[in-house]
Structure 1
Amino acid sequence: MNRMTMLGTGYVGLVSGACLAELGHIITCMDIDAHKIRRLQLGQMPFYEPGLDTLVQRNHARGRLAFEADPARATAGAEAVFIAVGTPSGADGSADLSALFAACHLVIESAPTRPMLLVQKSTAPVGTARRLRHEIASRNGHGALLEVAVNPEFLQEGCAIETFLHPDRVVIGTDSVRAERLMRRIYRPLSLQGTPMVATTLESAEMIKYASNCLLATKISYINEIANLCESVGADARVVAHGMGLDHRIGSSFLHPGPGFGGSCFPKDAQALLRFAAECGVTLRVVSAALEVNRAQAERMVVKSEAALGALPAPRIALLGLSFKPETDDIRESPGLRLAEIYLERGASVVAHDPMAMPNVRTTALGRRMRFAEAPYEAVHDADALVVATDWEQYRNLDLRRVASLLRHPVLLDLRRIFEPQDAVDAGLDYHCVGLPPRLGDRNHREPRTQAGLGARRTAVDRATPTHARADSVSRKSAP
């Protein structure tokens, strides 16, 4: 058992602190936001992550997890202080390290003269840990024995507790035997269950994090490009990805075609690595291409919508899914929000639903231009198209015949492939997804409704031309 402090109660800090407490350590989570600390002391979570509220409340009740706004009290008696603050993208794409160094200064100012380990858990460019060491040496005149380690996080939102307590590996970057021994002792419960411990230098530990995230982002962009080609040649990208993934050298993870990657890590880390590499005189063409493909994929999804709806002015879009992935309320770099922004710019109206993320979206400038529905069917009612942007489990259980009866036009854009195409067709829906040519709904089952004021929303040519032919035509003209 070790006594430790976690600076920052954002996603990484709170999850990591609660999980370290679950492993038996005594953890104090510290944040300069006193209001957030008060809420945590009352058991109120600042964000949604499955199981986190229970984990926090259990360890708080056991006396293993505390919350503190005062740096001196938070670090008193701590053997290690983890820094888990945000490193967002700056205007030029580089990582903004201001919060990281501010946290370092808090530790320096409150540090005792006994040995203490400062652990960089925040994702930061290679060389940052060395800079922290220099910062400590230059500002710490009273000689506190502070050492530095790097311990990157590999949490997956939506299953963060599982990925912390049962990780693929734990990466430990140090430059002293004492620091490595302490880090190994902290993670001994995971080591005993067979988790590999990768002990390396500060620089290698920092690089492992960036290299890992950028490879995963590249896999997503690659399969999306293959999926786009599959649509043109009549192949099924899901089957192609499955066949690829059975090769153990490739693996099946992150081979799921869709509207592109988002979240707090992949876009930010790829941009930061590109910027850092450029400063080192190195051009990372593959990472650059992964980002470009991801930007183009959102545009391509809108082109799909326009092709499916034909010459429909000011369409109403029902958008299901605003978080960047299911089981989280995180809307950072959300593909669904990127789509909503483009739809609105092109004159459409958007009615959105998300099980968890709507409160976060309502407070944004984009959210103030959208409408929100309390239930999926409410969003679909009288919409011209249904777009599924996030694969929440509850959306998989939608009654497609009911969906078809509520839509003004039978258009379903299943960007996460959560429905079986034939089920949608049998329900009377025109089915569009990523990685499969469009399929027309059974018109004997259901005809699109019209309303006064909508007019002839599809021209005679549109009505006579199959949807897939219109999609091919628009794609050739407009696809990025």
Structure 2
Amino acid sequence: MKITIIGTGYVGLVTGACLAEIGNDVFCLDVDARKIDILNSGGVPIHEPGLREIIARTRAHGRIRFSTDVKASVEHGDIQFIAVGTPPDEDGSADLQYVLEAARNIGRYMNGFKVIVDKSTVPVGTAQRVRAVVNEALEARHLAGSAAHRFSVVSNPEFLKEGAAVDDFMRPDRIVLGSDDDDAGRLAREKMKRLYAPFNRNHERTLYMDVRSAEFTKYAANAMLATRISFMNEMSNLADRVGADIEAVRRGIGSDPRIGYHFLYAGVGYGGSCFPKDVQALVRTADENGQRVRILEAVEKVNDEQKEVLVRKIESVFGGDLTGRTFAIWGLSFKPNTDDMREAPSRRVIAALLARGAAVRAYDPVALDEARRVFSLDLADQPGARARLSFVASQDDTLAGADALVVLTEWKEFKSPDFAQMKSELKAPVIFDGRNLYEPEAMAELGIAYHAIGRPYVQYHTATDANA
């Protein structure tokens, strides 16, 4: 099938590459010439395991191309995926300007029946707005109502996890498809059914529904996952007060099949491009419809405050003035297997340490370049703080002479470090673990002062007082 992907960001690039991988003829459009140049030169502008290999393979077979030619992109695809960004506006609502501009361009250049697919995460009612914009463009061409220029707007939200997006797309647990119940909508549904047939061979994964329900499903799913994270973080803070171990609690409640273990890990809060933005957008949608979603308001507040929890633990050991102190940071991206720094807890933690006068040496396996870019913006008006932040080439390079290690992302390579070497490099054996990677008792036996999230502090077994 001939497919057009509008937008070569995270969702668009993964969608286009995977659809090309199963044999479709895919045209990827982006108005950012820099991105297209990178892709046409064999590069990939985002880090996602397996994506580079799929793009190289499908390019070699002529099944995927990258261009800034809007007219050619519209003429190419019978199915037009809109996969552009929907960043939060100042009031927290989703900014739809890029979605609507993509729709406008489809109306300007469409030359036959088109299935227009909202793949971007968009609020309820967006398909109706897309439909109106396409009709306006057709009216300007005196083609509105033309049988040869019919179209249908479909909602097909993505459920991709960064770091596992290729696997998620190729082996989906569900495919949500919202379409209208008219002739054009039924035709669009049949085309989408044919497109996704390779993913439904073992069993039917597609959930068919109306457009508004499909749009709502995406937000509700992310809001539920964000709620589980904030719930566990709230419980971890209470566990600190009452002397319980949140990891034992997690196992205790997760064993209940009605609850399960997914997204029940306490930590320093969620980040990324989806959860923060989507929770805010759903709160805004409720407000626009005269309702408050108090649970989600609390989820957002808990998550915001959770990003300061580790800083308070650091202050409890070293005091509020960290001048002259140096902290080693392991992990910068908001989660492992991605270089995404959007809303990453590391940004808040590092900013707080710098504001208190500390120096920071930071390492991440893949996000160093993006971190340099992000912090150059975050600290643009703070040259003194920026001078105290350095990025190093390996996790061991962060340690020499540091007052403590701070773990902020649960990369696999951080899970079994050489603790003996770590102790010899650090001024004192102190770890602040924002991801609960290690066991408190094991750390105590190794003579390490270990401060985690919602886990009891176990006095380490040396004469050295790391709190001094």
Q: Of 298, 305, 308, which aligns to 1:299? A: 308
Residue in structure 2 matched with residue 366 of structure 1 by the alignment: 378
Residue 232 of structure 1 aligns to which amino acid in structure 2? R
Q: Is the 8 A contact 1:232 1:437 kept in 2?
A: no
Bigger Cα displacement from structure 2, 403-412 vs 43-52:
403-412
**1:312 & 1:78 partners in 2: Cα distance?**
59
- CA deviation vs aligned residue, 1:437-468 (integer Å, no higher than 9, x gap): 22232224x676xxxxxxxxxxxxx64xxxxx
Residue 420 of structure 1 and its aligned partner are, at CA, apart by 2.4
Give CA deviations for 1:25-76 in whole Å, capped at 9, x if unaligned: 1111111122321221222000111111001111111121111210122232
Summarize deviations over 1:289-323 as a string: whole Å, max 9, x none: 00000011112221011112247642221111110
1:162 paired residue number? 167
Deviation larger for 179-188 or 277-286: 179-188
Give the equivalent residue in structure 2 for 1:66.
65
Letter in 1 for 2:247: R
CA drift of 1:196 comes to: 1.8
CA offsets per residue over residues 123-170 of structure 1, 9 Å max, x none? 111001111111112221223212110100000000100111111100
Q: 1:287 aligns with which of 296, 299, 307?
A: 296
Name the CA distance, whole Å, in 2 between partners of 1:224 and 1:288: 15
- Residues 367-412 of structure 1, C-alpha deviation per residue, up to 9 Å, x if partnerless? 6722111111111211111110001111113111211221113210
Q: Which runs of structure 1 show a deviation greater than 6 angstroms over 4 or more consecutive aligned residues?
A: none
Quote how far apart the aligned CAs of 1:85 are: 0.4
How far apart, CA to CA, are the structure 2 residues paired with 1:440 and 1:158?
36
Deviations 1:198-257 (A, max 9, x none): 111110000000000000000000011111112222221112111211211111100001
Please report how far the alpha carbon of residue 340 of structure 1 lies from its aligned counterpart in structure 2 after TM superposition.
0.8
Partner of 1:400: 419
How many residue pairs were aligned?
Answer: 447
- 1:412 corresponds in structure 2 to 431
SS class of match (1:74): helix
Secondary structure of 2:278's partner? helix
- Contact 2:440–2:455 (8 Å) recurs in 1: no
| SS of residue paired to 1:76 | helix
Instruction: Please tell me the residue identity of whatever aligns with 1:174.
Output: S
Is the 2:27–2:76 Cα contact (8 Å) retained in structure 1? no
Residues 380, 403 of structure 1: 8 Å contact kept: yes
Q: Does residue 138 of structure 2 align to residue 129 of structure 1?
A: no
Question: SS of 1:192's equivalent?
Answer: coil
Is residue 243 of structure 1 aligned with residue 255 of structure 2?
no
Match of 2:356 in 1: 346
User: For structure 1, which segment, 320-329 or 18-27, has the greater mean C-alpha deviation from structure 2 after superposition?
Assistant: 18-27
SS in 1 for 2:307: helix
Tell me the SS of whatever aligns to 1:363: helix
SS across alignment from 1:139: helix
**What is the SS of the residue equivalent to 2:283?**
helix
* Greater mean deviation of Cα atoms: 306-315 or 29-38: 306-315
| 1:229 to 1:173, Cα distance in 2 relative to 1, 3 A | same
Q: What TM-score does the superposition give when structure 1 sets the normalisation length?
A: 0.90
On the 8 A contact 1:6/1:81 being kept in 2, the answer is yes
Structure 2 CA distance for aligned equivalents of residues 171 and 406 of structure 1: 51
Whether 1:117 aligns to 2:129 is: no
Structure 2 vs 1, CA of residues 211 and 311 (structure 1 numbering), >3 Å: closer, same or farther? closer
- Distance across 2 between alignment mates of 1:313 and 1:87: 39
Q: How does 1:244-283 map to 2 (within 5 A)?
A: 244-283=253-292
**Aligned equivalents of 2:34 and 2:320: distance in 1?**
51
Contact 2:330–2:406 (Cα < 8 Å) also in 1: yes
Which of 226, 229, 233 is residue 217 of structure 1 equivalent to?
226
Letter in 1 for 2:14: V
Cα distance in 2 for residues equivalent to 1:194 and 1:441: 53
Q: CA 1:306–1:378 in 2, change beyond 3 Å: closer, same or farther?
A: same
What is the root-mean-square deviation in Å for CA atoms of aligned residues? 1.5
2:446 matched to which residue of 1?
A: 427
Q: Give 2:378's aligned amino acid.
A: L
Conserved in 1, the CA contact under 8 Å of 2:253 and 2:259?
yes
- 1:404·1:427 contact (CA, 8 Å) conserved in 2? no
Alignment TM-score, normalising by the size of structure 2: 0.93
**Residues 169 and 196, structure 1, Cα contact 8 Å, conserved in 2:** yes
Q: What is the match of residue 46 of structure 2?
A: 47
Provide the rounded CA distance (Å) in 1 between the counterparts of 2:84 and 2:321: 46
Q: Distance in 2 between matches of 1:428 and 1:310?
A: 22
Label 1:366 to 1:429 Cα distance change in 2 as closer, same or farther (>3 A). Answer: farther
Confirm or deny that 1:382 pairs with 2:376. no
Q: CA deviation at 1:79?
A: 1.0
CA 1:443 to 1:311, structure 2 compared with 1: closer, same or farther past 3 Å?
Answer: farther
Q: What is aligned with 2:177?
A: 172
Q: Which runs of 5+ in 2 are unaligned?
A: 381-385
| Bigger shift: residues 168-177 or 63-72 | 63-72
**1:111, distance to aligned residue in structure 2 (A):** 0.9
The share of aligned pairs that are identical, in percent, is 41
Secondary structure at the aligned position of 1:260 is classed as coil
CA contact (8 A) 1:242 1:252 kept: yes
1:339-365 Cα deviation digits (max 9, x unpaired):
111222222222111111111111232
Corresponding residue for 1:478? none
Give the letter for the 1:393 counterpart: K
**CA distance change for structure 1 residues 429 and 311 in 2, over 3 Å: closer, same or farther?**
farther
**Which amino acid is 1:285 matched to?**
R
CA 1:393 to 1:275, structure 2 compared with 1: closer, same or farther past 3 Å? same
Q: 1:336 aligns with which of 332, 337, 346?
A: 346
Tell me which amino acid in the other structure corresponds to 1:397.
S
- Structure 1 stretch 117-126 or stretch 141-150: which is displaced more? 141-150
CA contact (8 A) 1:79 1:117 kept: yes
From 301, 307, 322, give the equivalent of 2:332: 322
Q: 1: CA distance between counterparts of 2:136 and 2:249?
A: 56
